[in-house]
Structure 1
């Protein structure tokens, strides 16, 4: 029997009065932060090229709102051949990470290009972290309800990221993301935003 894809499992899109206000915040904040971010990204792009072979950026397909795929762009923090053996998650003390990569991952500087994805509407500042299509399909088959994360726009940061980091399982991530959706509000987004700043300053949870 053919297994359902995550697209076939999706219910009606998540609706909430705060969504419109949230989109306004996303546009306003991303425009303001993109201005200084362009300078930072440009400087580290040069350093990355000097430090290791390959271009300064890399892109991946991710699954967003209602299963729509989009590309995310990041500063490259791993060797150019990091996924020569296929897609895989980063590990603690991953040997594929470059010298510069360790710093930009710890400070989350590698994520700055994704502010453009927030500006154009593929992502939000706060929401469930978008997964790659193959992982989304795998987890939707293995974990009941995993695809429900797609009912809301994915985020640059999120409740699961600041409360679990990289070390939680996909099932644990789902529980935290569902909690976020159940308590969806400006207050919760603001709390996540403050915690995100703390994570960036301390480098907590980085790989």
Structure 2
């Protein structure tokens, strides 16, 4: 057991499945590196459209909590106005007025998530895992769900068991239950199942905000 920011965290012994984690990290890095090279022309076009659509930077950086409570800065294409959080941290809502015109399209088809491939290559994230939350929200959820921090036992991901089984429509407690299911049952076959189920979610723009 480890204590992080005054909170206890039971850490999974990842050494129990060394081959799985080696293969997963290798696949993650190769897929993301190749994807960034192949998608480079598209990413350049996205960057231009973002700059033409609204004032502000192309990329959006935000501190998130990752494996074992370690903080990192997640990368995304900016999809909101630069003063989106002038009233304090908040989740995106359906038909959120803070979202730009280009941002609406990028979020709908998850294109805004592509820069997170850099986070994956750095080893901060994985393609598959619980979505990384902000520290402020983790502390908020822990007041009602003491075990919420157990989601930090594996690397956070772009897609995952909770994302394909509810996404934004589920509450934090349901999200925790689904994430813990993945943490207790992770395998190459389960990862493949999640990838296959993620494809229609992206193609048909399901559960986006």
TM-score, normalised to structure 1, is 0.94
> In the alignment, which of 188, 191, 200 is matched to residue 190 of structure 2?
188
**Aligned residue in 1 for 2:58:** 56
Q: Kindly report structure 1 stretches of 4+ aligned residues shifted beyond 4 Å.
A: 4-7
* Whole-angstrom CA distance in 2 between matches of 1:188 and 1:195: 11
Cα offset for 1:197? 1.4
Residue pair 1:37, 1:112 contacting (<8 A) in 2 also:
no
* Whole-angstrom CA distance in 2 between matches of 1:54 and 1:31: 27
5+ residue gaps, structure 2, are none
**Aligned residue in 1 for 2:175:** 173
Cα offset for 1:144? 2.4
**Aligned residue in 1 for 2:86:** 84
Q: How does 1:115-134 map to 2 (within 5 A)?
A: 115-134=117-136
For CA contacts below 8 A with separation 6 or more, give which structure has more relative contact order.
Answer: 1
The two structures, once aligned, show a CA RMSD in angstroms of: 1.4
Cα offset for 1:43? 1.0
Change beyond 3 A, Cα 1:66–1:108: same
Change beyond 3 A, Cα 1:37–1:151: same
**Aligned residue in 1 for 2:152:** 150
1:66 counterpart = 2:68 = yes
5+ residue gaps, structure 1, are none
**Aligned residue in 1 for 2:109:** 107
- Stretch deviating more after TM superposition (79-88 or 4-13): 4-13
> In the alignment, which of 11, 35, 38 is matched to residue 37 of structure 2?
35
Cα offset for 1:31? 1.3
TM-score, normalised to structure 2, is 0.93
- Render the CA deviation track for 1:63-85: whole Å, top value 9, x for unaligned: 00000000011111111111111
Count how many residue pairs are aligned between Structure 1 and Structure 2: 204
Cα offset for 1:5? 5.9
